[in-house]
Structure 1
Amino acid sequence: MTATAVAASVPVARGYRFELVKLWSQRRVRLLLLTCWAGPALFVAAVSQQSTLPVDTLFGRWMHATGWAGPLVTLGFAGTWALPLLTSVVAGDVFAAEDRLGTWRHLLLAVRSPRRIFAAKVLASLTVIMLLVAGLAAGSTAGGLLTVGNHPLVGLDGHPLAPADAAGTVLLAWICVLAPTLALAAIGLLGSVALGRSPMGLLLPVLVALGLQLAQMMPLPVPVRVALPGYAFIAWNGLFTSPAQLGPLLIGITVSLVWAVTAAGLAYRIFLRRDFTDQAYDGAGRRALTSGLLPLAGVLVVTIAVIVPVTGGPSSGIEQDKVQRSVATAFAHLYRLQTEQLHRPAVTEVQLDTSAACTRGGGRLEPQGPGNDWRCVVSWHLPGVPAAGSATYQLDLTPDGRFMADGDGPKEVNGYFLVRTPAGDAPNPLWQFDGTVALLPTVPKG
């Protein structure tokens, strides 16, 4: 027999407050809130004072230069590990806790409406998750600004962002990752409802996030890559190019929201159909497969079919001309930064007329797709100098379009990590730099 709502049921607002109090009473939730608000500030402040920086992380090499790099390094870590764990602890346990404690009958007698119980628990868990995300963003920003200062940030194509622009873009990047966080939270709710007291419900968001990370590391076709709900954890990188690469980001956000609504709807449906009088209830069993997993798999298939015309077909999205444009653009911007460091005469990107010739595998492999065997020779011109300058870079290009360019000479341009300036030695912006290749079809400038 399934419990049904009767007259004089408790309003959602009262149930929401009650669920918030229950969550706050849990020591682990209070510890997580404290950690998310204080931990990132201490982490960013400590790393920014070190002589070695996390250069393998996006914007990690700029943590000595600006306080706005800290929240972006934290954002990269949060999307990989912290946010899946937080959604598991909060959303993945909000329903299962009642099964473990055997309190469903008492809760139903108090509230008298399964629908309002579901709404209150969902709203309370999302409130806590949003507070945790806000703590990560605010704490890391405060740590960076207080330790390093409010200085310009260098984007992923080498262009400088003024402090005000950096602040707005960093905030927007954190807002964008709320969509995949909601998707993981909804998956956690689904696991908590469908699997009952089973620990698999608690682990489901972490396992899903791990699977999505492994998938992004594989050479998947672009339609499959951007159709995964975790892609927005990566696509915010496009905000830090000029012009911004908004296409992949908007697709990633839309896909994440579709998954969030679908998973939450499935959890709601399973919750209303369960038998609350069964004290031995231990999850939906095989029904969890048909009611949860299969519909989400169907969403993935439909999403891929819809995205294929937009992404230009089942390719990796990494092509020679895109790589060459990205490397040349970043080099031109960073060359101007180096020129300013050395107090040389100012030069514009138009005057430099920078170009890049990139090959893969020493010219033996087709110049497309990810790999650490890309090699680019960058050429540029200086006003009044007849001979063109050239510099060589080795590229490590990942399947999601991110690359790290490692300078391979000449020494006075990119062959050493320091440059001698009138004020003393300074980090050489052309020695190593990060960049991103737009995976969706682009139209060349001009």
Structure 2
Amino acid sequence: MTATIAPSHDSHDAGVPDEVRAPRAVSVLRGYRFELVKLVSQWRIRLVIVVCWIAPALFVAAVSQQGSLPVDTLFGRWMHATGWAGPLVVLGFAGTWALPLLTSLVAGDVFASEDRLGTWRHLLVAVRSPRRIFAAKALASLTVILLLVVGLVCSGAVGGVLAVGNHPLVGLDGHLLSAGDAASRVFLAWACALAPTLALAAIGLLGSVTLGRSPMGLLLPALVALAMQLAQMLPLPVAVRLALPGYAFISWNGLFTSTAQLGPLLIGIVVSVVWAVVATALAYVLFLRRDFTNLTDDSSPRRALVAGVLPLAGLLAVTIGVVAVATTAKGSGIEQIKVERSVATAFAHLYPQQADELNRPAVTEAQLKASAACTKGDVADGAQGAGNDWRCVVSWHLPDVAATGTAIYQLDVTPDGRYVADGDGPKEVNGYFLVRTPIGDAPNPLWQFDGNVELLGTTKG
């Protein structure tokens, strides 16, 4: 594509000879439109836009009609029950793979493409302001990224609702969200995921500026996201986990509990925004200091280390310290009393649903008085940490029944606090069997369910 930005002249310059007119910089708005046209004119950007607006709908519709569901993905087990589970499954995949790759493709290449084509001098002659060039390129890449994100969420939501229906959604603690409430929380979860997406985009801008035509600049957001994902799988202290800018890709699940777990989510958003601002500022300063008269001055490993890696490493250290001081959670944040309270709450929410589906007498959560006693391996008191060796015994009471009911669950708790509870008897309570629901047969709701331990939750009460 060839495009030019014509220099602008004020009306009072009319009649002044060209040789004495002062050159004027092109406005940011005109530069932004120019850069946006350049981006969307690339065939790979057009292809990605089409994929983001179509592929999630097809994926959700296809998976929702399958006999087996992605139960290892958050809300995957509910894709037969409601169309609002689909966009949440897409969000889980997007936060792990799609969004880091998209930010690499757009923001990670927006400056490096000029290095590869050798067009910096032409662009500077046309715009006459490095500051406005940076602003125009940053805004154009942000616009394209927002367009891709909007496509992912809208496509996933439309595909899910059309394929399955606008039905209520079971939350992470077993409570039932109405269709309207589920829809609002789905879109809010995607909005929260914008914060870490912006952080990755800013890292992409920084890599594109510092590394020039080197392919490492293009891959930097994806590599940073991969490193953060690997870190989240480790048994890190809570302060370190929350200080990573990608944590908001995980903490949105706190929106889907009866009492929203907003603490980790808000911290993750603030941390991501801080990273986005700092990385963008570093990229801006480095861009203004660049010598555009030197065609070989497009990358410097030493400059990338001193001006890019070290400041971000320092930011991470400061963020960890601030989060550690501002929060009270210690260690992993996964503690026995929190696990017990979470399992008991989920069971109390799901039991009345099962009773209704089996046409049994109605019972309320208050009447059940459900409680849980959990152990981890051989540790019966003070157990903590992630692992697949958690075992919980849930107890409850039914009206006019003297005996106390009990059910056993095996838990696999991940380091970020999410767990899957697998029923281990008695079979008539939490075994596998089908129940009749308004939308057809479905597995016993007490057989397996997803839950979430709030890492910053209090251990009192």
- Matched with 2:141 is 125
**Cα distance, 1:420 vs structure 2:** 6.5
Measured in 1, the distance between the counterparts of 2:409 and 2:374 equals 9
Is 2:123 the partner of 1:91?
Answer: no
DSSP 3-state at the match of 1:91: helix
Change (3 A) 1:263 1:417: farther
Q: Is the 8 A contact 2:335 2:382 kept in 1?
A: no
**Cα distance, 1:280 vs structure 2:** 1.7
Measured in 2, the distance between the counterparts of 1:333 and 1:37 equals 36
Measured in 1, the distance between the counterparts of 2:441 and 2:368 equals 25
- Matched with 1:24 is 40
- Matched with 1:74 is 90
Structure 1, residues 118-147: CA drift from partner, whole Å, max 9, x if none?
000000000000000000000000000000
Q: Is the 8 A contact 2:432 2:447 kept in 1?
A: yes
Measured in 2, the distance between the counterparts of 1:192 and 1:100 equals 11
* 2:25 maps to amino acid: S
- Matched with 1:11 is 27
- Matched with 2:78 is 62
- Matched with 2:217 is 201
* 1:204 maps to amino acid: L
2:267 is aligned, of 251, 256, 261, to 251
Equivalent positions of 1:416-427 (< 5 A) are: 416-419=432-435, 425-427=441-443
**Cα distance, 1:366 vs structure 2:** 5.5
Change (3 A) 1:86 1:420: closer
Measured in 1, the distance between the counterparts of 2:201 and 2:99 equals 9
- Matched with 2:349 is 333
Q: Is the 8 A contact 1:362 1:375 kept in 2?
A: no
Is 2:293 the partner of 1:277?
Answer: yes
- Matched with 1:214 is 230
Equivalent positions of 1:361-440 (< 5 A) are: 361-363=377-379, 367-419=383-435, 425-440=441-456
- Matched with 1:241 is 257
**Cα distance, 1:246 vs structure 2:** 0.2
- Matched with 2:302 is 286
**Cα distance, 1:282 vs structure 2:** 3.1
1:141 is aligned, of 132, 157, 169, to 157
- Matched with 2:373 is 357
- The percent of aligned pairs where both chains have the same amino acid is 75
- Matched with 1:3 is none
Measured in 2, the distance between the counterparts of 1:266 and 1:14 equals 24
Q: Is the 8 A contact 2:329 2:456 kept in 1?
A: no
* 1:72 maps to amino acid: L
Is 2:126 the partner of 1:113?
Answer: no
**Cα distance, 1:393 vs structure 2:** 0.5
Decide which moves more: 430-439 or 303-312.
303-312
**Cα distance, 1:417 vs structure 2:** 4.2
DSSP 3-state at the match of 1:413: helix
* 1:185 maps to amino acid: A
Measured in 2, the distance between the counterparts of 1:391 and 1:380 equals 9
| Count of aligned positions | 440
Change (3 A) 1:38 1:424: closer
Measured in 1, the distance between the counterparts of 2:164 and 2:107 equals 36
Is 2:290 the partner of 1:263?
Answer: no
Decide which moves more: 53-62 or 332-341.
332-341
Off by >4 Å, runs of 4+ in structure 1: 420-425
Measured in 1, the distance between the counterparts of 2:325 and 2:167 equals 41
DSSP 3-state at the match of 2:429: coil
Q: Is the 8 A contact 2:76 2:85 kept in 1?
A: yes
Measured in 1, the distance between the counterparts of 2:457 and 2:406 equals 28
**Cα distance, 1:363 vs structure 2:** 3.6
> Rg bigger for which structure?
2
Structure 2 gap segments, 5+ residues each: 1-21
Measured in 1, the distance between the counterparts of 2:437 and 2:208 equals 59
Structure 1, residues 264-301: CA drift from partner, whole Å, max 9, x if none?
00000000001101112231330111111111111111
- Matched with 1:186 is 202
Change (3 A) 1:360 1:105: same
- Matched with 2:118 is 102
Change (3 A) 1:190 1:163: same
How does the TM-score come out when normalised to structure 2? Answer: 0.93
**Cα distance, 1:345 vs structure 2:** 1.6
* 1:402 maps to amino acid: R
Q: Is the 8 A contact 1:92 1:189 kept in 2?
A: yes
* 1:120 maps to amino acid: A
Q: Is the 8 A contact 2:189 2:255 kept in 1?
A: yes
Measured in 1, the distance between the counterparts of 2:254 and 2:53 equals 27
1:297 is aligned, of 285, 307, 313, to 313
- Across the aligned residues of Structure 1 and Structure 2, the Cα RMSD in angstroms comes to 1.5
